[in-house]
Amino acid sequence: ETASLVARGAVSKGDVLAVARVAGIQAAKRTSELIPLCHPLALTVIEVDLTVGGEGVAIEAAAETTAQTGVEMEALVAASIAALTVYDMAKAIDKEMVVTDVSLVEKTKELA
């Protein structure tokens, strides 16, 4: 029921998916402020995709940089904060929600 309300944009706090996407993007840009010793990076790409299914919302985040270090923390932070935003916006209508399975799916490094 909650997933259906989120998909339809019928949650009283607003468009959950749009707000969560923006929250994830903002969080990725501030990763170095949130995680000690994490390098500040100039991101060239940050994408946060949310898909509503019968059991909940799946979130996938991708980040890219031209820096000489990995960018997986930015993607993980983006997905985590997007999930927490969904939770925050829908918690009044669903007391049983949980955030689960935050994981790195793929990390690649392309050499120029």
Catalytic amino acids?
88
CA 61, 29, 104, 94 dihedral sign is: negative
Three-state DSSP class for 56? strand
CB 72 within 8 A of CB 109: no
Element (H, E) at 5: helix 2-8
Backbone angles phi, psi at 54, to 5 degrees: -60, -30
Q: CB–CB of 26/63 below 8 Å?
A: no
